[in-house]
Amino acid sequence: MMFKRFLIIAVAALALAGCKGHREEPSKAIDVTGEWELTSITTRGASIGGTPIAVYINFTAEKTFELYQMIGEGRYTYFKGTYQLSGESLSGTYESGKPWGSVYTVAMEGDQMTLTTNGGSETDTYRKTTIPQAGKDNIY
């Protein structure tokens, strides 16, 4: 009788120990807050050519963004608005009320963020950085 009771306890303990090894860790939420610099663009069907492009974006914890974009030489164009992040899906609306041209899938790896348009026609890679004051001061 004592052996049977010991065997039942041992089997129960093994079963509980086995369950601990199979726990799924909760997935870490994606956090895009901070200042980012565009480092590369991969696109299908569009040509950027040899034109220099500089893009910086700041996503705030309050779900707003500021974007500084310069294509070619000259001054930065400044945009701001709000963004929404649901799981890996990032979308936004400019201050004028116009939505972004696409919804993006976000992937994070260290200090690098990759935004891929739905359908995969464009992939933009950003690195975490500080937006240069010269860029903030040189807008129109």
Cβ atoms of 69 and 126 closer than 8 Å: no
pTM: 0.73
The DSSP secondary-structure symbol of 139 reads B
What are the tens digits of pLDDT across the range 59-70?
999 999 999 998
**Minimum mean pLDDT among 12-16, 17-21, 131-135: which range?**
12-16
pLDDT category, 96, cuts 50, 70, 90? very high
Strand partners, 70: 54
Averaged pLDDT score across all residues of the chain: 81
pLDDT category, 28, cuts 50, 70, 90? confident
**Minimum mean pLDDT among 18-32, 50-64, 91-105, 126-140: which range?**
18-32
pLDDT the model gives residue 49: 67
Strand partners, 69: 55, 77
Place of tokens 């705030």: 60
Number of H-type helices and E-type strands within the chain: 2, 8
**Measured distance CA(59)–CA(36) in Å, rounded:** 8
pLDDT the model gives residue 76: 92
